[in-house]
Amino acid sequence: MFTNEYKKHIPFHLYLDEKIYFVTSRTIKRKKLFNCNAKLDLLEKRIKAAAKKYCIELHAWVVLANHYHLLFTLHEGVKLSNLIRFINSDSSYLLNSNDNARGRKIWWNYWDVCVRTKKDFWAYFNYIHYNPVKHGCVELEGDYRYSSYNYFKNKTRLIHFKLS
């Protein structure tokens, strides 16, 4: 069967309708495969296309060279695994076509957390927007193009919470 080393890399996924999720997906061996604006654009567009296709409400997102983070509400009947598969398989296909690297595996796995409190929501929201600073991409959150930070910066927007 599976070794313990292997099992710790296969997180258990619990799916509940009408809940807020924080999701992280990273590339194999943390390779910086989305290493230029065109490739970051490609991944960000796939995330936005997935949000539209699966009717999820994106609360925050960030795309970096080797991973992305999302914070969103998963509505009734939407399978989280299908949403992530859409993002990861589409972005893999497009990136591999662009790099002439057919069949190359891009994504390792994804991790999700069902957000239970408003405090946790805001912690994830802020973590997502601070991520480019944490990884040395920029000095200020607002300077990073591939994030929802500037979208929310000047908005007063109600976020409806349906927490566990």
Residue 9 lies in a domain: no
The answer to whether the beta carbons of residues 33 and 98 sit under 8 Å apart is no
Instruction: Write out the two tokens for 135.
Output: 């990884």
Ranges of beta strands (E only) in the chain are 19-27, 57-63, 67-74, 107-114
The pLDDT of residue 109: 86
Residue 164 lies in a domain: no
Residue 137 lies in a domain: yes
The pLDDT of residue 158: 52
Residue 84 lies in a domain: yes
Residue 112 lies in a domain: yes
| Domain hosting residue 102, numbered range | 14-153
In three state form, how does the secondary structure of 86-126 look?
Answer: HHHHHHHHHHHHHHCCCCCCCEEEEEEEECCCHHHHHHHHH
Q: What's 6's DSSP letter?
A: H
The pLDDT of residue 1: 44
Q: pLDDT (tens digit, 0 to 9) for every residue of the chain, 164 residues total?
A: 445 544 555 556 566 667 899 999 999 999 999 999 999 999 999 999 999 999 999 999 999 999 999 999 998 888 899 999 999 999 999 999 999 999 999 999 899 999 999 999 999 999 999 999 999 999 999 999 999 998 887 765 555 555 55
Residue 114 lies in a domain: yes
Number of structural domains found in the chain: 1
Question: The pTM is what?
Answer: 0.86
